[in-house]
Structures are given as structure tokens and as C-alpha cells.
Amino acid sequence: MGVITIKLFRETEMSFVKLSASALAIAAVSATTAAARDNVQVAGSSTVLPYASIVAELFGENTDFPTPVVESGGSSAGLKRFCEGVGENTIDVANASRAIREKEIKACAENGVTDIMEVRIGYDGIVFASQQSGPAFNAFEPSDIFNALGAKVLKDGEVVDNPYNTWAEFNADLPDVEIAGFIPGTKHGTREVFEEKVLLIGCEATGAMEAMIAGGMSEDDAEDACLNVRTDGKSVDIDGDYTETLARIDTNPNGIGVFGLAFYENNTDKLKVATMSGIAPSTETISTGEYPVSRPLFFYVKKAHIGVIPGLKEYAQFFTADEIAGPSSPLANYGLVADPELAKTQEAIANEVTMGSGS
């Protein structure tokens, strides 16, 4: 017994020495390698993430630069990290499904991020879809969505808390089923487009906005009131991604969900899409501007990192090349609506034009 324990002690002691030695080694290694980052670091919008991941993979396959790392987290979170400062421990590129805000540019400038290049990569359509085998939700107007999901609507000439339980109550052409809307949560860039291009338009079209102003509200307050959604459980905010919305639609035949065009096109066997103002969403109708609910997608490049982080400018150029982001490119094939003014963007990147200096 005694012999065994002594032997054990020796072993234990030895391994402690070894372990601590390797721990020190790791610390030393990290101290020396921390200085050099050789890959582009991207973060931001979860809507842009799929496109960015396609480009990142192709960039790694087609060039000698390592594959960029693309993180998700939402447009606002990405821009916040982008504006944290200049240096290798900050990201180089922020993806966004909306344009950068004045406030964010100011926050950037305060941290020394002054030269920002804005790159528009194309357009994304937002579609309303329901279960393939569910009731016939085939045609919507913005006013239908507003009447179904708005917090306060116009009924019999008066602004009231949304009283509707079924779609048919305000539009006899729609199915007589319980209202259940699954819309993107407030941290998503998609929500902003949904509010501006659907709720606000619907609010104006139903006359609710006019009635609110007539009722003594200022125009700004009325606009804000139009964007509120009902909170009685008939409108559900989805804070996750489209897969979560799809799962909700899958279990609720009456559910209407808000999806990106690309996501819908990947799941046409489960979802059927509704027209908006009589136009079916497709890359064609979105690029011509006929389909009303679409938005531009962007990424922002820190100019100070060009020349420091290898491959950063090349990444931006590769992303916006005709072969990658033009019509009939891999991105278009996945659902991105190509930007007709791509050539201008390419030129701006080549000349490293920053925001505020170019136009």
C-alpha cells in the first residue's frame, strides 16, 4: 500500500510540473502570435450572413488568402462592434441590412473609426408566406397586414384597439381563420422594413393615420402609433432567425410568417407565398421595384484596416464582382437581387471612396 501511494505521488507531482509548464508555454505562444491576424473578420446582420458565407467560402477557394470569419448577431450589434475602434482586435467589416445611422457614424468617429466605406451588395425581398396546405392566403395589401397586426386600427370611422380576431372580419376575400402573425423581432433589420413598407403604408391606406391626426396627434406621434403591433398574442415577435418562424408556421396552419425571399425559395415545398399589392415576389419584380417590400443590403469596410489586414480590399472587390454578385451569379442564385448599379460600387471600392467624401 505504502509503495503504491508513493509511486502515485511521484506520478501526480510529475504531471503537475508538466501541466504547469505547458500552461506557461501556451501563455507565451499566445503573447507572440496575438500580434498577427491574417484573416478578414466580419460580423453583423443575420440576413447578410448567408450571402457573406457564400462569398467567404469562394474567397478562400479562389484566392490565396485564408477564408474570412463571418459572425452573425444582427445589424446593430455588428455596427456597434465595428465602431469599437481601429486595430486588429476589432472587426474589419460590418454587414447590415439597413444603412448606417447618423448616431452610429458619430459613435464610430468618437472611437477613431472615421473612414468608412459603404458597399451596397444588392437587394433583399421580404415576403409573407404561410403553410403550403393551410388556408388560401394568396393576396395581401399592406392594409390587410395593418388591420390584422396593428395595435390601433380604424373601425367604423373611429380609432380603436384592434378588435379583429379573423382575417375575414375586415376583408371578405381573406380566409375566415384566426389571425396569427409571426414577425421579426425589434433587433432585426427586417423589422424596420416591415414597419416602413407595410405597417405605415397600411396605416395610411386604411385612413387610420389620418384619423389619428384628426384626433389630435402630431404627425410624428401618429407615425409612431402606426408602427405599434398588437400585444394580445395574435402578433408574435420572432427574435431568432427564419428557421424559428418556419417552425412556428409548421405547427400553425393559420400562421402568416415574414421571411426573406431567399429563405422562402429554399423552402417552397413547405411554404406558399402571398402577393403584395398584386405583385408576386421574385428577383425580377424586386429588381424592377414593382414588388414593394424590399430593402438594400450593405456592408461597411474600415478603411484604416486596408493594407494592414491582408485581403480586406480584395474581399470587398471579390464580393462585388459581376461573377459573384451580378445577375446569374452564386449570390443571385441563392436569392439576392442584384444591384443594377454594381459597376458604380466596384469603382468606389477600387478608389477606396469613403462615406462623405465621394458623393
Partner 1 sequence: MTDASMQTPETGRRGTSLTATDERTRKRARAEKRFRLYGIIAIATGLFFLVVLFASILREGIPAFTRTVVSVEFTLTPEQREEAEGTLFKTKAYSDLFIAQLNKELAESGISVDFDEAAIERLLGKVGGTIRAFYTENPDRLGEPIEFDLAASSRVDGYFKGRVSRDTLQDSRFLQLSDLDLVDALKEAGIIKQAFNWPFITGADSGVDNPGGAGIGASVVGSFFMMLVVLVLSLPIGVAASIYLEEFAPQNKFTDLIEVNISNLAAVPSIVFGILGLAVFIQFMHLPQSAPLVGGLVLTLMTLPTIIISTRASLKAVPPSIRDAALGVGASKMQAVFHHVLPLAAPGILTGTIIGLAQALGETAPLLLIGMVGFVARGYPDGFLAGFTEPNSAMPAQIYTWAARADVGFYEKAWGGIIILLMFLLTMNIIAIILRRRFERRW
Q: Which stretch binds partner 1 (CB under 8 A): 120-128, 151-159, 250-258, 319-327?
A: 319-327
22 scored as a contact of partner 1 (CB under 8 A): yes
Cα 89 to Cα 13, 197, 325: the distances in Å are: 38, 38, 29
| 323-329 contact pairs (CB < 8 A, 24+) | 324/55, 324/58, 325/121, 325/122
CB of 270 to partner 1, least distance (A): 9
| Residue choice 14, 88, 215, 357 for contact with partner 1 (CB under 8 A) | 88
CA angle 316, 326, 125 (to 5 degrees): 95
Q: Which stretch binds partner 1 (CB under 8 A): 119-127, 137-145, 152-160, 317-325?
A: 317-325
**Count of residues that interact with partner 1, criterion CB under 8 A:** 64
Residue 149: how many other CB atoms lie within 10 Å: 25
Question: Which among 348, 352, 359, 351 is positioned nearest to 120, based on CA atoms?
Answer: 348
**DSSP string of 83-126, one letter each residue:** TT-SSTTS-SEEEESSPPPHHHHHHHHHTT---EEEEEEEEEEE
Say how far apart CA 347 and CA 51 lie, in whole Å.
21
CB of 232 to partner 1, least distance (A): 29
CB of 132 to partner 1, least distance (A): 8
Q: What is the footprint of partner 1 within residues 250-269 (CB under 8 A)?
A: 262-263, 265-269
Say how far apart CA 83 and CA 85 lie, in whole Å.
5
CB of 306 to partner 1, least distance (A): 18
Q: What is the footprint of partner 1 within residues 224-243 (CB under 8 A)?
A: 240-243
16 scored as a contact of partner 1 (CB under 8 A): yes
265: cell is 425559395
Q: Which stretch binds partner 1 (CB under 8 A): 8-16, 103-111, 169-177, 204-212?
A: 8-16
| Residue choice 139, 213, 321, 355 for contact with partner 1 (CB under 8 A) | 321
* Amino acid at position 330, single letter: P
CB of 320 to partner 1, least distance (A): 11
DSSP bridge partners of 117 = 301
Contacts with partner 1, 47-66, as mask; x by CB under 8 A:
--xx-xxxxxxx-xxx---x
DSSP bridge partners of 66 = none
Say how far apart CA 257 and CA 179 lie, in whole Å.
11
CB of 219 to partner 1, least distance (A): 39
Binding site for partner 1 (CB under 8 A): 1, 4-6, 8-9, 12-13, 16, 19-20, 22-23, 26, 29-30, 33-34, 37, 39, 41, 43, 49-50, 52-58, 60-62, 66-67, 69-73, 84, 87-89, 91, 240-243, 262-263, 265-269, 318, 321, 323-324, 330, 333-334
